Amino acid sequence: MHGAGPCDPRFPPCAASPPPRRSEPLGTLEAAAPRIARRSPSADPHSTTGGRSPDSGVDMATRKNVTGRFCSATAGMLVATAGLTLAARQRRLEAERLGLRRLELEEAASRRRALAHQQRMHWELLTRAMDDASLAAVIDTYDKDIPAEKRRQFFYANAWYVNLYYLYEAGLLDQQELFGRLREIFQTPLMREYWEASRAQRATLDESSDERRIGAMVDGLIMELDEADTDEWWVVGTPPPAWEGTSSSGE
């Protein structure tokens, strides 16, 4: 088996080689190329999502969830801030109220100290007047027909009355307690004589003053004592209604 050629008779005939391909015209290349199948609009996977991928709906829901949580957190912070602001305002108002109350108590204490000092000075001056007739003449406004000895007793009666007045003004006696003390000291004839002798002095007092109101209360009390048919003087008389706008009522 040597020297066999391509068309050796010992072998079947060789298959004919395909004829060489000719170059086809350029215009036929597109026709020869395989066509790409086009999808109908109904087969478009994005047609039901408005041109978005299916995952975009999930992203939107996630964003809405996050936004909702953020809004809830913001609302909670606003409520908490409002609560803190209200609590701070209430604390500030309470501090102001306590401050005002402290000032009122300090003012009342200062007033009591001033009244106590004035009471001591009044008693000291009356004591000197009772001990020295020449000093008593300085403040003696009673009728000169009244004996000097009795005028000295009037000074002492005035000291008792003024003492009760200061106790009431300082808030140490309320109106009912003051009425009871006055009812007691005006049992004696000398106190009633002093009261009648000092009527002209009380007429100059301001009608809205506490001293003028107390004077009117004593006038009514003495009248009730004179008209009473009982020896139980401690039950005679009825305290007047509580006065409004007095200096002692606010302490």
pLDDT digits (tens, 9 = 90+) for 13-33: 554 555 555 555 544 444 444
Q: What's the structural domain count of the chain?
A: 1
pTM (two decimals): 0.56
83 lies in some domain: no
Q: Do the Cβ atoms of 242 and 175 come closer than 8 Å?
A: yes
Domain presence at residue 149: yes
pLDDT in tens, the chain (251 residues): 444 455 555 555 554 555 555 555 544 444 444 555 555 555 455 455 555 555 555 566 566 565 666 677 777 777 888 888 888 888 888 888 888 888 888 887 887 788 888 878 888 888 888 888 888 888 888 888 889 889 989 999 999 999 999 999 888 899 999 999 999 999 999 999 999 999 988 888 888 899 999 999 999 999 988 888 777 888 888 887 777 655 554 44
**CB neighbours of 182 closer than 8 A, spacing ≥ 6?**
161, 164, 214, 217, 218, 221
Tell me the per-residue pLDDT of 100-133, one tens digit each, with 9 for 90 and over. Answer: 888 888 887 887 788 888 878 888 888 888 888 8
82 within domain boundaries = no
Residue 196 belongs to what domain range?
A: 112-235
Residue at 151 is within a domain: yes
51: left (phi > 0), else alpha (psi -120 to 50), else beta?
left
Domain annotation covers residue 249 = no
155-159 long-range contacts (CB < 8 A, ≥24 apart) are 155/126, 155/129, 155/130, 156/126, 156/130, 157/190, 157/191, 157/194, 157/195, 158/126, 158/194, 158/198, 159/122, 159/123, 159/126
Residue 51 lies in a domain: no
**Residue 50 phi, psi dihedral angles, 5° rounding:** 70, 30
